[in-house]
Structure 1
Amino acid sequence: MTGLVSLKYLGMNYVNLSLVGSRWVEVANKLPSLTELHLRGCSLFGSFPSPRLVNFTSLAVIAITSNHFNSKFPEWLLNVSNLVSIDISDNQLHGRIPLGLGELPNLQYLDLSSNFNLRRSISQLLRKSWKKIKVLNLAHNELHGSIPSSIGNFCNLKYLDLGDNYLNGSLPEIIKGLETCSSKSPLPNLTELYLHRNQLMGTLPNWLGELKNLRVLALSVNKFEGPIPSFLWTLQHLEYMYLSWNELNGSLPNSVGQLSQLQAWVLFQSYEWKSLSTTFFEVE
């Protein structure tokens, strides 16, 4: 395979490569034109191998999800400056998520979800600018600490999933963290926000109402309290809203019915029903 000097795309998803061992990384490293490497569900296991000399000069996409790697994050990837997308989700990586990921100049997509044992203080991890990041999925790991206001500087972010971690504290007033976005609104491109199954608390901050492109809001299984703020009913593109298993209370306005795109709205075991106008249930 090393003779394939013009090969740009290598996809071997679901091919059993268990007998190849760690040799796959050396083979791929010798393909000078390789831009995309896809090895999903290939029964790769053990420590994530490192090439003797990193030569992935063209590599932009690496997707090695749903394998059985049981090691720390492969830090040699931090030397591959052309990387646009990294997906090593659904493995058994452990240890600290390297801060250098936030300094990769072209990174737009990062999925390390469902490794379960990757850890890092979220305030340390997000203090970097992550200038081009659009998709950040770190769900089902061991992230801890409070979300910093610097998250407001993730101008290009479209998808953020920090669900099923150990985050705590209140959601910050991230509008105070705005420094680099041309828009005056925080997270102007965000369409999906998942913060479910953490230990977040306090009231829901006003900036949630400024996420005008938001389609999914998942805040279930936390310790949020107080009334559901009226600004949520102004999110006209909202399709899914999950608020169950919190400590929310108060009244629901009739304006809920104006969310014409809403397909799922879950409040059970979360909401103390004080009053709800019967007009909310009327059919015209």
Structure 2
Amino acid sequence: MMMWKPELMLLLVFISLADSAVPKEEVEGLEQILALMGATNWRLNANSCQLEMIDQMQKPHPEAEAKVLCDIDCNNGNSTNCHIISIVHKYHSLGGVLPPELLKLPYLKNIDFAYNYLGGSIPSELGSSQLQSISLLANRFSGKIPGHLGNITTLTYLNLEANNLSRTVSSELGKLINLQTMILLSNRLTGTLPPSLTELINLKDFRISDNNFSGPIPNFIENWRQLNKLELIGTGLSGPIPSSISVLNLTDLRICELSGPTQRFPPLDNATGLLTLVLRNCNLSGDIPAYIWQRRDLQLLDVSFNKIIGGISGDITCRSLRYVFLTGNMLSGDIPDTLLIEGATIDLSYNNFTLQGPGRPTCRPNMNLFLNLFKSSSSGNTLQDILPCTEDAKCLR
């Protein structure tokens, strides 16, 4: 059997380190980052740029993910341009902190540490990074959303959903002119939305639901001409929905639980590509504009619990509709056959439609859709209102 001399062993180790794809300082920096987050079961293979498990862990979440990505040059054997650009560690119950040592990876563009137990504050050092995407979804960060994030001018995606952050949204975030997605759901944010957010002209996705903001929905949203998705559900903001929304070509609009004055249906003529429209409990009055029923790609319409009157247009051309919720309004008139789309779920309960009884289109047997007509009309017969399609709505003593 061949015996290795100590000198040769040292030489091989030296050559291995010298030929490693990822620079030594980045490998060491990543080890510090993982240790401070509590991910002590992993190490980086500097040659393959792959995270490898070194200690057996408890069975992880089915969606658990742990990986590091490097430059494309690493795959070409170009060690001089091989750098760590992405770290993903999701669903691993990490109980540490978000470490300032992230700055030891100067080429880092993406971090995704969603669904862990990371706590403490978001470090101010992060403001000196060149990150493009930050996801800290569902952790235990506290304190206020740091204004220094506004210094990351390269940032295009920011998700701080479901944490314990408090206070206000910093006006410094208005510096993020390249930001395309901002998700601040399920925090304890208060105060008004700072006017500096008007500078986010490249924003495509804005979600701030489940917070405690104050003041009206700001008119400056009209400056977000690239916006595709707007979600304001239980934000604490008040109405009315600004008429300036008319300049946006949205595909997904969700606004719910608005206090404030009664208003007409917001102008959405320009939103020809609408897929989802939810305006639940927004103090809407008047009728549903006819053009809403002609949005060919519309899949979900929810305007329940408002004060909407009038009827449903008979000219319904949006054949993609799968969910229609008109619950708790004052709609009247006939229910058009064109609304009864095969495979759809339709809730017309608690309205004033023409009485639906046996022989009406809505009461045809064996229809392939879910249709709720509970108290959708008033007949003066309580049992008939509850069971509108019954042949004999009488209750024997």
TM-score, structure 2 as length reference: 0.58
For residue 111 of structure 2, what is the aligned residue in structure 1?
A: 62
The structure with more radius of gyration:
2
Q: Please, which of 212, 218, 223 is the counterpart of residue 172 of structure 1?
A: 218
For residue 156 of structure 2, what is the aligned residue in structure 1?
A: 108
Question: Structure 1, residues 187-243: CA drift from partner, whole Å, max 9, x if none?
Answer: 11110001111222131112211112x111111122154233352244111111111
RMSD over aligned CA atoms reads 3.3
For residue 194 of structure 1, what is the aligned residue in structure 2?
A: 231
C-alpha distance in structure 2 between counterparts of 1:216 and 1:64, whole Å: 26
Q: Please, which of 271, 276, 280 is the counterpart of residue 311 of structure 2?
A: 276
Moved more, 201-210 or 156-165: 201-210
Task: Report the 3-state secondary structure (helix = DSSP H, G, I; strand = E; otherwise coil) of the residue aligned with 1:231.
Answer: coil
C-alpha distance in structure 1 between counterparts of 2:196 and 2:213, whole Å: 16
Q: How does 1:57-136 map to 2 (within 5 A)?
A: 57-80=106-129, 82-115=130-163, 117-122=164-169, 124-125=170-171, 128-136=174-182
Question: Structure 1, residues 48-68: CA drift from partner, whole Å, max 9, x if none?
Answer: 3443x9421111111111111
Contact 1:140 1:164 survives alignment (8 Å) = yes
For residue 14 of structure 1, what is the aligned residue in structure 2?
A: none
C-alpha distance in structure 2 between counterparts of 1:62 and 1:150, whole Å: 26
Contact 2:142 2:166 survives alignment (8 Å) = yes
Question: Structure 1, residues 13-32: CA drift from partner, whole Å, max 9, x if none?
Answer: xxxx899836689989xx98
Q: Please, which of 78, 97, 112 is the counterpart of residue 47 of structure 1?
A: 97
2:287 is aligned with 1:251: yes
CA distance 1:230–1:106, shift in 2 (3 Å): closer
Name the amino acid aligned to 1:60. K
2:272 is aligned with 1:236: yes
Question: Structure 1, residues 78-122: CA drift from partner, whole Å, max 9, x if none?
Answer: 222x2111111110110111101111121111111111x112323
Q: Please, which of 17, 21, 28 is the counterpart of residue 6 of structure 1?
A: 21
- Which structure has greater helix proportion? 2
Contact 1:204 1:228 survives alignment (8 Å) = no
Q: Please, which of 15, 18, 21 is the counterpart of residue 38 of structure 2?
A: 21
Contact 1:5 1:33 survives alignment (8 Å) = no
Q: Please, which of 37, 55, 64 is the counterpart of residue 87 of structure 2?
A: 37
> Which fold has the larger relative contact order, with Cα–Cα distance below 8 Å and residues 6 or more apart in sequence?
1
Task: Report the 3-state secondary structure (helix = DSSP H, G, I; strand = E; otherwise coil) of the residue aligned with 1:276.
Answer: coil
Task: Report the 3-state secondary structure (helix = DSSP H, G, I; strand = E; otherwise coil) of the residue aligned with 2:280.
Answer: coil
Contact 1:7 1:33 survives alignment (8 Å) = yes
C-alpha distance in structure 2 between counterparts of 1:33 and 1:247, whole Å: 53
CA distance 1:165–1:35, shift in 2 (3 Å): same
**Structure 2 unaligned spans of 5+:** 1-16, 28-33, 46-69, 71-81, 316-334, 339-397
CA distance 1:75–1:126, shift in 2 (3 Å): closer
Quote how far apart the aligned CAs of 1:264 are.
Answer: 0.8
C-alpha distance in structure 2 between counterparts of 1:251 and 1:21, whole Å: 56
Name the amino acid aligned to 2:243. N
C-alpha distance in structure 2 between counterparts of 1:113 and 1:20, whole Å: 19
C-alpha distance in structure 1 between counterparts of 2:139 and 2:295, whole Å: 38
For residue 197 of structure 2, what is the aligned residue in structure 1?
A: 151
C-alpha distance in structure 1 between counterparts of 2:269 and 2:108, whole Å: 44
2:208 is aligned with 1:162: yes
TM-score, structure 1 as length reference: 0.80
**Structure 1 unaligned spans of 5+:** 11-16, 176-184
Task: Report the 3-state secondary structure (helix = DSSP H, G, I; strand = E; otherwise coil) of the residue aligned with 2:291.
Answer: helix
C-alpha distance in structure 2 between counterparts of 1:165 and 1:42, whole Å: 27
Contact 2:174 2:200 survives alignment (8 Å) = no
Aligned residue-pair number:
260
CA distance 1:47–1:156, shift in 2 (3 Å): same
CA distance 1:54–1:236, shift in 2 (3 Å): closer
